[in-house]
Chain A
Amino acid sequence: MLIKPVSDIRSSEITDKKLYLNRREFIRATAGTAVAAAAGTIGGEALLQAAPPAAHGRKLENVKKSPLSVDEKQNTWEQITTYNNYYEFGTDKDSPATLARNFKTEPWTVAVDGECNKKAAWNLEDILKGQVLEDRIYRHRCVEAWSMVIPWVGFPLSDFIKKCEPTSKAKYVEFTTLYDPKQMPGVRSPVLRWPYVEGLRLDEAMHPLTILTIGLYGEVVPNQNGAPLRLAVPWKYGFKHIKSIVKIKFTEKQPLNTWQESAPQEYGFYSNVNPAVDHPRWSQATERRIGEFLRRKTLMFNGYGDQVASMYAGLDLKKNY
Chain B
Amino acid sequence: MKIQDRIVRWVFKPAVFAAGLGPFAWLVWAALTGNLSANPLSDLTNETGVWTLRFICITLAITPLRFFTGWNVLIRFRRMTGLFAFFYGTLHFLTYVIADRFAGLDFTDGMFTIATARNLVASVSEDIYKRPFITVGFTTWMTMLPLAVTSTAGMIRRLGGRRWNLLHRLVYLTGILGVLHYWWLVKADIRRPIAYGVVVGALLAVRVVRARWRAPARGAVAPRLQPSE
Q: Which residues of A contact B (CB under 8 A)?
A: 31, 34-35, 37-42, 46-51, 75, 78-79, 82-83, 87, 91, 93-94, 144, 146, 189, 191-192, 259, 262-263, 281-283, 285-286, 288, 290-291, 293-295
> In the complex the two chains form, is B198's CB within 8 Å of A87's CB?
no
Q: Which residues of B contact A83 (CB under 8 A)?
A: 37-39
8 nearest CB pairs, A to B: A83-B38, A41-B195, A38-B198, A38-B195, A91-B189, A79-B38, A295-B104, A286-B104
Partner of B195, one of A42, A49, A282, A290: A42
Q: How would you classify the secondary structure of chain B's contact residues: helix, strand, loop or mixed?
A: helix
Q: Are A281 and B131 in contact (CB under 8 A)?
A: yes
Residues on B with C-beta less than 8 A from A37 are 195, 198
Q: Mark B164-204, 1 if CB is under 8 A from A, else 0.
A: 00000000000000000000110111011011111100100
Of B4-12, B41-49, B210-218, the one contacting chain A is B41-49
**Do A42 and B131 touch (CB < 8 A)?**
no
Return chain B residues, CB-CB under 8 Å to A191. 188-189, 191
Interface pair A288/B26, CB less than 8 Å apart: no
Number of A-B contacts (CB under 8 A): 100
Query: Is the Cβ of B57 less than 8 Å from the Cβ of A42?
Result: yes
Contact yes or no, A50 B35, CB < 8 A: yes
Residue of B30, B47, B103, B199 near A42 (CB, 8 A) is B199
Q: Which residue of A lies closest to B102 (CB)?
A: A294
Whether B47 pairs with A290 at a CB distance below 8 angstroms is no
Determine if A31 and B202 form an interchain contact, defined as CB atoms under 8 angstroms apart.
yes
CA of A18 to CA of B134 in the docked complex: distance in angstroms? Answer: 51
Residue of A nearest to B33 (CB): A50
Considering only residues 113-165 of chain B, those with a C-beta below 8 Å from chain A are: 127, 131-133
Pair B35/A34 contact, Cβ less than 8 Å: no
Residue in A42, A51, A262, A294 with the greatest tally of chain B CB atoms within 10 Å: A42
Question: Which residues of A are found within 8 Å of B185, using beta-carbon distances?
Answer: 281
Complex: A189 Cα to B192 Cα, angstroms: 13
- Chain B residues in the interface with A (C-beta under 8 A): 23, 26, 30, 34-39, 41-43, 46-47, 53-54, 57, 99, 103-104, 127, 131-133, 184-185, 187-189, 191-192, 194-199, 202
Q: Is the interface of A mostly helix, strand, loop or mixed?
A: loop
Contacts of A93 in B (CB 8 A): 37-39
Contacts of B30 in A (CB 8 A): 48-50
Given contacts A47-B26, A82-B38, A281-B184, contact A42 B189 (CB under 8 A): no
CB distance from B41 to the nearest CB of A (A): 7
A38 near B199: Cβ-Cβ < 8 Å: yes
Q: Given A42-B199, A288-B39, A291-B38, are A282 and B131 neighbors across the interface (CB < 8 Å)?
A: yes
Q: How distant is the Cα of A293 from the Cα of B191 in the complex, in angstroms?
A: 30
Q: Which residues of B contact A281 (CB under 8 A)?
A: 131-133, 184-185
26 residue pairs of the A-B complex, CB under 8 angstroms, read: A31-B202, A35-B202, A37-B198, A38-B197, A41-B195, A42-B57, A42-B195, A48-B43, A48-B46, A48-B47, A49-B35, A50-B30, A51-B37, A82-B37, A91-B188, A91-B189, A93-B38, A94-B37, A191-B191, A262-B188, A263-B188, A288-B42, A291-B38, A294-B104, A295-B103, A295-B104
**B43–A192 contact, CB under 8 A?**
no
Q: Which of A42, A46, A146 contacts B192 (CB 8 A)?
A: A42
A296 to chain B: closest CB distance in Å?
Answer: 9
| Chain B minimum-CB-distance residue to A295 | B104
Q: Considering the chains assembled together, what is the distance between the CA atoms of A83 and B43 in angstroms?
A: 11
Minimum Cβ distance to chain A for residue B107 (Å): 8
Which residues of A have CB within 8 Å of B202? 31, 34-35, 38
Contact B198–A35 (Cβ < 8 Å): yes
Chain A residues near B41 (CB-CB < 8 A): 288, 293
